[in-house]
Every structure is written in structure tokens, then in C-alpha cells.
Amino acid sequence: MAGSMPPRGVTKERAAEYKGHMTFAVAMACIVAAIGGSIFGYDIGISGVNTMDPFLEKFFPVVFRRKNSPTRNNYCKYDNQALSAFTSSLYLAGQVSTLAAAPVTRNYGRRASIICGGISFLIGAALNAAAGNLAILIIGRIMLGVGIGFGNQAVPLYLSEMAPAHLRGGLNMMFQLATTLGIFTANMINFGTQKIKPWGWRLSLGLAAAPALLMTIGGILLPETPNSLIERGHVEEGRRVLELIRGTAEVDAEFTDMTEASELAKTIKHPFRSILERRNRPQLVMAVCMPAFQILTGINSILFYAPVLFQSMGFGASAALYSSMLTGAVLLFSTLISIATVDRLGRRKLLISGGIQMIVCQVIVAAILAVKFSADKQLSRSCSIAVVMVICLFMLAFGWSWGPLGWTVPSEIFALETRSAGQSITVAVNLFFTFVIAQAFLSLLCAFKFAIFIFFACWIAVMTAFVHVFLPETKGVPIEEMVLLWSKHRFWKNVMPDIMPLEDGWGPCGDSAPAYESNIHK
């Protein structure tokens, strides 16, 4: 029975014995790998082409006419399911492809998935730039989704496994930093290409190939992670890479943890089935809830539709793109704050403080719109400035909390045998909720009006409470020893199989302890 099985992972805490420091090899590998995040970010930001008149006139003429109609409800001008599908189809494709990426990542390595993602994204960018009709445009978006599914599945894992335990949080956030840089870059490009008529939108979509090319080349040149090499039987090469990235030959403790985890991983033939067992319940809950909550902050609605949102509030086309560019810059800056503080303050403090600030910001925006804005009335200049400032404060809070940590926490909590499957679930859930919100947001904005911000504020309150109750602090805990952390948590220790310290490791309490101890010594 699942309840009587010992938790998978290392058999002894050795974190204090880990040697090594930040090396040039780790720095370069993390920078190149994190470029994969820029693909995700660029695509989020580049969705702003949906407010460019030549783009709308060619692919969405109904929306184009509605946008320029002075009698149309301000909240409902962009409410069109086909336009929503342009944004959301990518994420539905990504959700499916990330599940296919799991066996590739496990059996062929993290680099293989990074390369597959880069190539798929190159194809999608080319199709979008050359699209002559809506069908080709959507097919291109689907190929972009395949690239994002592979990239988002492999890159956070790669970063978590390459980084030293005491620096893992900050280095893992290179993915989110690259994502925010991609968003900001896309907003800047949209701001410039809107003036190139009628083909500026093609340049915006086609330039997505640039980060994809860097990701593909990086995937070819990067070393594989020692965890993956050991898991696939290349033990000596795995130790050589570990010594390289730690800058020392004294890696016995960390290498032992990796080989123990690998031996246990080899006994698991069906990781998706294993992840459903009781001993993996805490990790499964986090893999589902963390990415779902990240999207339910409402951040992607603002990022996807920032120009739409600002134009709905009465900003002109240029002003709307300028405002979205400003919020993208704030998001980029706040991610740097998180990188600098996450391994000092810890994950929980950043998540809870960021959640509280986001709730306050959402409520303030809703109050301004409720009082000063309506279906047929524009915001005054002072109120418009206030809305942009509060949304920037929202971005600031998201950027140091749920933005990077929504990816970091799930990527660092799984045992080796379920790591690829767990990351696939994380990415799939993230992309599913991204798809749902992207497809529904314009309709929700039309139906809820200002109350859309209250809707997201309620979700942020729920997820902040969730972190307080259910998430232990993972700061500084080696990936291979996470299982021991869950077994000590005030809530999860009642869910997991009982374990007790043995002389040379850990095992379950009761009758099954001798059997587990004998397995350790084999």
C-alpha cells in the first residue's frame, strides 16, 4: 500500500557536508538556460499586437470596427472569442506538449527538451511572421505553444539541478528574470512597430525567433546536469560535471545524495503513477496549487491585455502601449529584488508579503474604476495616472513574490524519480489556467467590469492563506533532501507515511522499519 511505503529520496541529511561555490560554469549555464524564460515572456508581451489597427483589420475586422465605434461599451470593445483564441491557443498547445516533454526530459536529458523547445519556437515565429490568414496565424501560435511546453518543462529543472543549494533560489529566478525581460522587450518592440504600417505587427511576431535561436544554440552548448547524467547511467561523467560546476573535487556528500536518489529513481517505471501515491502528496498539491494560484493573481490578464485594458479605460493607442511598457519595466526591476532577497529572507516571507500588497492594489484599482469610470465615460488624466501607478505597485509585488516563486518552489521540491513528471504537471497546470484566463478575460471584463479586480483579489487572499498554512520554508534545503522537510511539517507529517531517524538514515515507523533499513544497506 502507498501508505506503508517509505518516502523516496536520500537516506540521510548531508547538506552540511556539501562543498563548492558559485563557479563560472554555473553562471554561464544558468544565464544561457534562463534565456528559455525570455521566450515565454516575449510571447506574453507580444500579444499586444492585438490592439494594432492593421493587425485587427486583417485578421479580426469585427473587432476593428467595434474598437473604432464611439457608441460601443468601453468594457466590451474587444470581447471576441476568435481574438481570445489568438492569445490562448498557444497555452493549450503548451499544456499538451509539456506532458509529452516529461519522458524526453527524463530519458534523454534536460538539454534535449531545451533544444526541442527552441526549434519548435523558431518554426512558430516564422509562421506567425508570414501568416496570410487566421488559420496560419493560429498554427504558428500552436507551434509556439509546443516550444513553450518543452522549454518551461526543462529549463526550471535544469536551473535547480545546476545551482548550489544555498544559491538555488536566486539562480532559479534567472528563468523569471528572463521572462520579465522578454515581456519588457516585447512591449518596447510593439511600441516601435505600431508606427510601421501596415506590416509592423509582422516584425513584432517574427522577432520572437531571436530568443528561440539563443535557446537552441545554448541547449547544444550547455553541459547536461549531473543529476540527469547519473539518472541515465553516466555516473563518472556525472561526477566530472559535478566537480566542474562546484569548482572542487570534494563533492562526495552531494554525489552520494545524487546516486542514492538515482538508484531509487530507477525502481520507478511509471513516475506519473508514483506521484499520485501518498508519500508524494505534498509535492503533488504544490505542483497543482502553486502554478494555478500564480495565474489567478490576474497577472497574465494584465500582461496579455495591458494595451486592451488601458485603451478600455480611455488611454489612446500610443499611451496604452507606453503604459504597458512601464508596467513591464517595473516587473523586470522587481524580479531583481527577488533574486537578491530570496535566499536570505526565504520563500514564505516573499510570497505572503507580495500577496498582501497585491490584494490592496487590486481593491484600489476596482474602487477607482467603480467611482470614476463607466461603460460610456473615460477616466480623467489624474485618475488614469493613479491607475497606472497602482498597477505598477501590483507588478512590483508580483515580481518579487508569485512571479518567480510560482516556478521556483515546484521545481525544487520533487525527488529525482518524480521530478520530470512533477515539473510537467506544474507547467501543464500553469498553461491550462493561462489558457482559461486568456480565453475568458475579455468576456469577464465585459461582464464583471471593475469587479474583475475584486475577483482576482479574492483569489490572492486564498493563496496567501494557503502559503501560510501549507508551504514549509525550502530555503537552503538540498533538492535531494526535500522529502525530509515534508516529513517534519506540522500539517504534511500527518499525511505522509510515518518516518523515524535510523542510525544511518531514515525509515518508516513501525513494522516496516526493518525492511526499509535493509534496503538502505543493499
**pLDDT tens readout for residues 66-125:** 877 766 676 787 788 888 888 888 888 988 898 888 889 888 998 999 999 999 999 999
Residue 164 CB partners (closer than 8 Å, separation 6+):
18, 20, 21, 22, 26, 246
Mean pLDDT estimate for the chain: 82
pLDDT score at 376: 56
pLDDT digits (tens, 9 = 90+) for 289-326: 999 999 999 887 777 666 666 766 666 666 766 777 78
pLDDT score at 286: 94
pLDDT tops 50 at residue 509? no
Q: And the C-alpha cell for 146?
A: 509546443
Report the pLDDT averaged over residues 445-469.
Answer: 92
Query: In a 3-state reduction of DSSP, which class is residue 71?
Result: coil
Largest CA distance in the chain: 77
Q: Which stretch, 11-20, 182-191, 467-476, has highest mean pLDDT? A: 467-476
pLDDT score at 241: 92
pLDDT score at 512: 37
| DSSP structural state of residue 164 | -
pLDDT digits (tens, 9 = 90+) for 356-391: 999 999 999 889 888 877 655 667 778 878 888 898
Strand runs labelled E in 310-379: none
Contact 225, 231 (CB under 8 A): no
Query: In a 3-state reduction of DSSP, which class is residue 501?
Result: strand
Q: How confident is the model at residue 126 (pLDDT cuts 50, 70, 90)?
A: very high
Q: How confident is the model at residue 138 (pLDDT cuts 50, 70, 90)?
A: very high
| Residues 168, 172: Cα–Cα separation, whole Å | 6
State phi, psi for 500 to the nearest 5 degrees. Answer: -140, 150
pLDDT tops 80 at residue 270? no
pLDDT score at 226: 93
pLDDT tops 50 at residue 268? yes
pTM of the model: 0.73
The Cβ of residue 509 has, within 10 Å, a number of other Cβ atoms equal to: 10
pLDDT score at 499: 53
